[in-house]
Amino acid sequence: MKNISCIKQLFFAYFLCITLPVFACKPGGLQQHIEFEEGSSAVGATKARDLALWFLDWRDGRGISYVMVFSNSKENDKYTKNLSNERLKNISSLIGPLAGDRVSIKYMNSPINQNSKRISHYFLNTIEISVQPKCTETGTCCL
């Protein structure tokens, strides 16, 4: 019986040593979600400040390879597409000057099928901003 218990403990220790670095190497805080009031493209001072601080923390800390900004609109719906584009423009005016020439920013407006279950207040009124840290290029995220 003691041998089985010892084997279990060794297996657990081996498993922990293998998986712990995987969990420890994933940088956190790679995304920000900006939720807008329905029908509005205004970011608001507090959200703008938080976004700028988050962006600067990444830019001046580990560095940013590129940024992706996602917005959604209803497919074939001019109103939601225009609103989505206006929101992207406002986000661009916030983080574009902070990025300068050092960081590439990609803006995407994704049309959602009118019959999709994904169409909801949240998806239509939220922009997701994701950073790709430089450490993923150099393999130094775990250091």
pLDDT digits (tens, 9 = 90+) for 74-99: 889 999 999 999 999 999 999 999 99
pLDDT cut 90: percent of the chain above it: 55
Res. 20: pLDDT tops 50 = no
CATH of 28-138, one of 3.30.413.10, 3.30.1490.20, 3.30.1330.60, 1.10.1780.10: 3.30.1330.60
Would you list the DSSP string of 7-44? HHHHHHHHHHHHHHHHHHTS-S--EEEEEPPTT-----
Q: Give pTM, 2 decimals.
A: 0.76
Rounded average pLDDT over 113-135: 83
Beta strands at 64-74 and 104-112: parallel, antiparallel or unpaired = parallel
Domains of the chain, by residue range, sit at 28-138
pLDDT digits (tens, 9 = 90+) for 22-70: 545 678 889 999 999 999 999 999 999 999 999 999 999 888 999 999 9
